[in-house]
Chains A and B, each alone.
Chain A
Amino acid sequence: MRAMTRKKLIRQSMIYILVGLLLIFVLFPFGWMVSIALKTPEEQFRIPPTLIPSHFTLQNFLTLSQHPLFIYYLLNSILIASTTTLLVVFVTIFCAYSFSRLKFPGRRSLLSIIILTQLFPLAAIIVPIYIIMSRVGLINTYFSLIIAYLSFTVPISVWLLRGFIQGIPPELEEAAMVDGCGRLQAFIKIILPLSRPGIAATAAYIFFVSWQEFMFALTFITDDYKRTLTVGILDFVGQYTTDWGSLMAASVCVCLPVFVLFLILQKQLITGLTKGALKA
């Protein structure tokens, strides 16, 4: 009996040690980011570098707030990511509904084609999208980015929402339809409220990927003040010297909103993402 508890104790401490190591592996780079963001400019360039700042200062964040364009970058990112999110959820929810409820021929293969589009390298389609955008005069507009983002957010959104809607028992709608609701009405009254957690998770995912997007944002936007955060933070990278303090302070600002959003919605998000793969 005592041998058992001892074995259990060893096992339990092993788990804590391993979890600790895993967390260090994950958190170390973030800690380094925060540490640089809080260092004084002199200490940033001290050789050898220190892990923990000897002086904590918010100076870098102050510099950042005085950067003439940073606030634009932030607002642009928020605007583009949220517009994309709203648009995509609105467009794809009906599509996801028909894939999970209506039995039409070729449903499965159509769904596979939608998923297949995720295999396309964005680098392979960016040139034609760029050419089209410049032909219709959309280059250097928020629109060009939002449209481009549809290419990689629409398929995943259909996939996620379909999974959530499938989890709702069809009997509920059938009952509503027997009571005289039309299909659309049943959809609005039953499906929409019940799939709210799923919609939230999908929206969060779309927001994440639009927020992080870099390649299109780098290519399609030419005016400084129209840039998004991911491209904008490269302002601090000079040809010869880089303002690491401000850069890392900016990085903290870019990460924080998505981290908070993630912590709130992680449960639904993870369920939604893994559902499809588990069924396959």
Chain B
Amino acid sequence: MPTLVLLGIIVFYPLIHTFYLSFFDTSLVLPKPEFIGLQEYGKIIKSKILWIVIKNSFIWTVIVVIFQFIIGLASAILLNQKFKGRALARAIVILPWITPGVIVAMIWRLMYHPQLGLLNRFLFDLGLIKNYVAWLGYPNTALYAVIISAIWKGFPFSTIMYLAALQTVPQELYEAANLDGANRWRSFFHITIPQTMPVIRVTLLLTSILTFNYFELIYVMTKGGPGKSSHIFPTYIYQIAFGQFRFGPASRYAVISFLLLLIFSLIYIGELNKRKVFE
């Protein structure tokens, strides 16, 4: 059981410590932390920035998770077909997922570069834009630009999960459906989806949590900017903690982010359990 003690020290203790810190006001100019209780929480809830961060975190997580689901499932179905070079194709598709986030961020930063990036060149050649656009430089586009790279980086995880799930679906079900004259779409909705549903549910939960907590892409591509237009919880917490060395406020945001995620996960898991009871 030394492993559990270890986990207690490096994971649970820091979490409790974060809660504890969040009741204090700490900063570089204030060497002795001052107890302030919950009053600062009140101030944060009334502040505009908290709601910007919540909104961004929500947009970020929802869009990334939905697209990772769609691309993940579609690519899994495709890679489950028989064709030459399938093993190689399966291996290649996983590569973005094992590429370090910082490198993904740099590649896409260059892709979005107003003058040197390929994106502008393609869109310009196709006549879709009249001027080169700094995609990461505008509050309206920055978050969405990073979202696209996050989808690209993370979708193979869903592919792996769904591919494994598809391989457990008994082939006889499809053969039987075929004999009954069901077409591919019907088989998909009546066999594939229900059979893989348990894995879909778990994967959606996992990708939501991973995405919500994902730090590197936004940090390296936009630093939460321009302004604060693309900050999500992890980047904003980090910015306050190590950009400004204000551990107190950073801990309060960390606690809020933790609680939001916990509530979401509990509701989600609760829903899963409820369904199982009725099944």
Contacts and interface: CB of A to CB of B under 8 A. Distances in A.
Interface of A: 12, 15-16, 18-19, 22-23, 25-27, 29-30, 32-33, 36, 44-45, 47-49, 51, 91-92, 94-95, 98, 110, 114, 117-132, 147-148, 150-151, 154-155, 158, 208, 211-212, 214-215, 219, 229-231, 233-234, 237, 244, 247-248, 251, 254-255, 258-259, 262-263, 266, 270-271, 273-274, 277-278, 280
A266 B3 contact: no
B94 A266 contact: yes
B15 interface: yes
A10 B30 CA distance: 72
B241 A127 contact: yes
Interface centre among A16, A124, A211 (most CB of B within 10 A): A124
Interface string B32-66: 00000000000000000000000000000000000
Interface centre among A98, A122, A148 (most CB of B within 10 A): A122
15 contacts: A19-B83, A26-B95, A29-B152, A32-B118, A119-B209, A121-B261, A128-B18, A214-B219, A219-B242, A230-B103, A247-B106, A270-B160, A274-B165, A277-B165, A278-B164
Contacts of A208: 98
B182 interface: no
Q: Nearest 4 CB-CB pairs, A to B? A: A274-B164, A128-B17, A124-B254, A95-B3
B202 interface: yes
Contact of B116 (A44, A126, A150, A274): A44
B90 to A, nearest CB: 8
A233 B215 CA distance: 17
A232 to B, nearest CB: 10
Contacts of B209: 118-119
Interface string B160-174: 110011001000000
Contacts of B237: 121, 123-124
A150 B5 CA distance: 12
Contacts of A263: 91
A215 B215 contact: yes
A32 B107 contact: yes
B251 A121 contact: no
A33 B107 contact: yes
A38 to B, nearest CB: 14
B198 interface: yes
Contacts of A151: 7, 10-11, 14
Contacts of B110: 32, 36, 244, 248
A271 B163 CA distance: 11
Interface of B: 1-4, 6-7, 10-15, 17-18, 21, 75, 78-79, 81, 83, 89, 91-96, 98-104, 106-108, 110-111, 115-118, 121, 124, 152, 160-161, 164-165, 168, 198-199, 202-203, 206, 209, 212-213, 215-216, 219-220, 233-235, 237-238, 241-242, 247, 250-251, 254-255, 257-258, 261-262, 265
Given A91-B2, A214-B101, A32 B111 contact: yes
Contact of A117 (B7, B93, B251): B7
A114 B6 CA distance: 11
Contacts, number: 229
A230 B10 contact: no
B199 A277 contact: yes
A42 to B, nearest CB: 13
Nearest to B210: A118
A51 B106 contact: no
Contacts of B262: 119
Nearest to B240: A127
B83 A125 contact: no
Contact of A123 (B100, B118, B254): B254
Interface centre among B89, B106, B234 (most CB of A within 10 A): B106
Given A51-B118, A95-B4, A127-B254, A233 B242 contact: no
B98 A258 contact: yes
A215 B219 CA distance: 9
B126 to A, nearest CB: 13
B116 A233 contact: no
Given A15-B78, A150-B6, A214-B216, 20 more contacts: A26-B152, A49-B118, A51-B118, A95-B3, A110-B4, A114-B4, A119-B261, A124-B254, A124-B255, A124-B258, A126-B238, A131-B17, A215-B219, A231-B102, A254-B100, A255-B103, A258-B99, A262-B94, A277-B165, A277-B203
Nearest to B118: A49
Contact of A154 (B6, B18, B78, B89): B6
A189 to B, nearest CB: 23
Nearest to A147: B10
A29 B258 CA distance: 33
A151 B212 CA distance: 18
A3 to B, nearest CB: 16
Contacts of A244: 110, 116
A280 B102 CA distance: 32
